[in-house]
Structure 1
Amino acid sequence: MQLRHLLLCSVFIFFVLYAPQPLLGLFASHFSVSPATAGSLMTATMLPLAIAPLVYGLFLAKRNPLTILKIAMFVLAISCIAFTLAPSFELLLLVRFIQGITLPAALTAMTSYIGVTFQADQLQRNMTLYIGSTIVGGYFGRMLAALFTDFLSWQSFYYVIALGLVLFALAIPKSGKGASIHAAKSPLLYLKQLKDPLVLKLYGAVFCMFFCFAALLNYLPFILQDSFAITNTRDIGLVYSGYLLGALASIATPWLLRKSSTPWRLLTWVFVFYSLTMVLLMSQQLLLFVIAFTGFCGAMFVIHSSAAPLVNKISSAPASVTNGGYVSFYYSGGALGSLLPGLVYQQHGQVAFMTVLLLVCLVGLSLVYLAGRNTIRG
């Protein structure tokens, strides 16, 4: 399978995950539910994403990831059509939960395919390109969902996603060079290999990173509405443009790594910057808020682009299990971040909300700093 084909599949898969996010205010109004309840549309998807990838990682250790990817894309296409037909908020949640069960199979299959097909510098480069595709999918998933809603209807974008998923799935080859993964001798043995302290610290930092990111992007429409009186879905989609600059930051990650003495040091300094943007995001001035949001997105994607290949280098477990663990911790943070901070926001507002995110981010900073110190001592 050609890498560019894989990247296009990734873009449409991330459309599925993030398209509802700028529409949460619309769903809250249409179904007469609270912001935290509307935010549960993201939690319903990220919760199984937090649990399933490690299981799928063990499962994929015995199977061709391209076959799993194709099946998952067909299921996601069907779920997109079902989402447009759901007559109640409860059924929307059910469809999102089904998508959450299916998405980790696709994500783990893609990262596992890259992990076993490429080595050394190619692994870093292609994993960075993959992460770039997730950024593109996340940004345009949000932006296009907002634009289609403004000019046509929110359902229309889901028809486009479903069609794209089917067409790209049909083009996936039945087998691919380098796609074969050796059968697992002992799943428990592989899981024990993930107990490496450095791996666990990196997983924990990734959890903190995405907790903060998912929380802010989930409740961004409500912050824009309450603090800056921005309610139009098109304008909300434009504010998400800061997210796209994260793609540029992630492309610069290999250069930043070459300039840093160790990946841990780069992660430490980027976490410091990530924390500073959260302080600025407490601002009530729209221009400063948008600038801080852009820096926030850039920092998150540099962390992600550094951590994903790093964990593949330091883990002794198979690529499918290593990446399954990474995705599990990543979306565990997303699942909790998409729900719990929203309760704080509803009761105490923007500053308290950002303070919670800052505290979680500082935990992530501590983890990468300690991991870096342990590496130097080792």
Structure 2
Amino acid sequence: MPRDPLSRLQWLVFALVSAVFTTVYIPQPVLPVLRQTFGVGEGTASLTVSAVVLGIALANLPFGALADRMAIRPILLTGGLVVAAAGVVSALAPTLPLLVGARFVQGLFVPALTTCLAAYLAKVMPAERLNVVMGSYVSATVVGGLSGRLLGGFVFPPGHWRWAFLVAAALLLAATLAAYVGLPVEDHEKARQAEGVRFRDVLFRHDLFRIYCVSAGGFFVFSSVFNYMPFYLHGAPFHWSTRAVTLLYLSYIVGVVAGPLAGRLSNRIGNGAAMVVGSLVFGAGLAVTLIPQGWAMALALALVCAGFFTIHASAAGALNRKLSTGRGRANAFYTLFYYLGGTAGITLSGHAYHLAGWHGVVALAAGVLLVPLSTGLVEMRLAQRDGSATRSSVARAR
């Protein structure tokens, strides 16, 4: 472990967040195997993913409020122990309902390790260093998502998916204990001070609400693509193996690069324009998936990842630039809408896939992409209007 306290903190954050997101996405590449193992349909097998996402969506705001009133390190420890224990139950579950139930419990306690960790960092880190550590947080979400997919569908043979759950639980337990011991103790008095801004104050602001909708729409499409792509590639004309499908998730690495680049792009052309660019790139990726060639799938998922992370980074930037107070609560709503969008995407795309196959999923996703695209256009117009007003004020002052 590096001696520099900041580097040490970055590694602890990176390890914990990576372990959490590894746990979230383990079943995704082996959904066809789960379908065969338990004798269910595609949509029912996908509950092993959507149950976690739904749990996160339901628990995010309560844990955000809890983080304002209590010391956070004990919350992290409790959440890590529960999520790891539920991972062991998932590995041993003899029936799909028990597996889905254990995954739902994991989702309910994931915010103890994500939302609360972000709140903890905001409390204990100096402002000039917070962005550095949060960079590790964002990168860890990408690496964790990729690791979960590789662990579930490549490191272990697909038929041994239960071992993937056990290994992920052990990794999460180790990362949780390391974080609990290694993270600095926060000021307990500050930990109990709740911010004066209420949740409703940042929910019903129109300028913020449309950004929440971008969060929901972006993850709606992203989760739909990655959840139903395995079924698409297992069938005609591809007939790919689970391991071959899993290798396509390496496109997630694009997110490690796309996040920082999207931030620079937003600074240069504005958040609204970056949202528009991300939406168009995302839409191009969807279109390329309709080409029945292996190389097209690799290109498509790279475009999908680049587009999604551009939308995500620019929307988060736009949200926080609109706020002078209430950032914690506004970001909690952003996360809530994010996971609600993912849950809706997985569920509704299951119906679309059943009715019209992969073309149905693409058609639904293309329609939902109009949300970030139109919001980006609105943000561009507002930025141009504000810029014109500023120039007029300067001219009058002269």
TM-score by length of 1: 0.92
Whichever residue aligns with residue 234 of structure 1, its letter is R
How has the CA–CA distance of structure 1 residues 118 and 230 changed in structure 2, closer, same or farther, with 3 Å as cutoff?
Answer: farther
| Superposition deviation, residue 70 in structure 1 | 2.1
Match of 1:18 among 19, 22, 25: 25
| Superposition deviation, residue 91 in structure 1 | 0.6
How has the CA–CA distance of structure 1 residues 327 and 3 changed in structure 2, closer, same or farther, with 3 Å as cutoff?
Answer: same
Match of 1:107 among 105, 108, 114: 114
Whichever residue aligns with residue 354 of structure 2, its letter is Q
Cα distance between partner residues in 2 of 1:367 and 1:87: 45
How has the CA–CA distance of structure 1 residues 313 and 116 changed in structure 2, closer, same or farther, with 3 Å as cutoff?
Answer: farther
Does structure 1 residue 142 correspond to structure 2 residue 149?
yes
Cα distance between partner residues in 2 of 1:272 and 1:310: 18
- Aligned ranges 1:251-290 → 2 under 5 Å: 251-260=260-269, 262-290=270-298
Tell me the percent identity: 26
Aligned partner of 2:351 in structure 1 is 343
SS state at 2:193 partner: coil
Cα distance between partner residues in 2 of 1:148 and 1:164: 15
SS state at 2:292 partner: coil
Cα distance between partner residues in 1 of 2:131 and 2:206: 22
Whichever residue aligns with residue 354 of structure 1, its letter is V
For the 8 Å contact 1:45–1:96, the answer to whether it is kept is yes
Aligned partner of 1:238 in structure 2 is 247
SS state at 1:54 partner: helix
Aligned partner of 2:194 in structure 1 is 184
Cα distance between partner residues in 2 of 1:26 and 1:152: 7
Whichever residue aligns with residue 193 of structure 2, its letter is A
SS state at 1:252 partner: helix
Cα distance between partner residues in 2 of 1:360 and 1:151: 32
Cα distance between partner residues in 1 of 2:133 and 2:204: 26
Cα distance between partner residues in 2 of 1:258 and 1:121: 18
For the 8 Å contact 1:129–1:251, the answer to whether it is kept is no
Aligned partner of 1:224 in structure 2 is 233
SS state at 2:69 partner: coil
Does structure 1 residue 131 correspond to structure 2 residue 162?
no
Whichever residue aligns with residue 271 of structure 1, its letter is S
| Superposition deviation, residue 17 in structure 1 | 0.4
Of 321-330 and 302-311, the range deviating more from structure 2: 302-311
Alignment RMSD (CA, Å): 2.3
SS state at 2:113 partner: helix
Whichever residue aligns with residue 210 of structure 2, its letter is K
Cα distance between partner residues in 1 of 2:317 and 2:84: 29
Does structure 1 residue 38 correspond to structure 2 residue 48?
no
Aligned partner of 2:391 in structure 1 is none
Instruction: State the structure with bigger RCO (CA 8 A, min sep 6), 1 or 2.
Output: 1
Aligned partner of 1:202 in structure 2 is 211
Whichever residue aligns with residue 358 of structure 1, its letter is A
Match of 2:56 among 44, 49, 57: 49
How has the CA–CA distance of structure 1 residues 377 and 46 changed in structure 2, closer, same or farther, with 3 Å as cutoff?
Answer: same
Post-superposition Cα deviations, 1:287-323, rounded to whole Å, max 9, x if no partner, equal: 1122011110122122223333443342345343222
How has the CA–CA distance of structure 1 residues 228 and 93 changed in structure 2, closer, same or farther, with 3 Å as cutoff?
Answer: same
| Superposition deviation, residue 237 in structure 1 | 1.0
How has the CA–CA distance of structure 1 residues 173 and 204 changed in structure 2, closer, same or farther, with 3 Å as cutoff?
Answer: same
Aligned partner of 2:322 in structure 1 is 314
Q: Which has the larger radius of gyration?
A: 2
Cα distance between partner residues in 2 of 1:253 and 1:115: 23
Number of aligned residues: 376
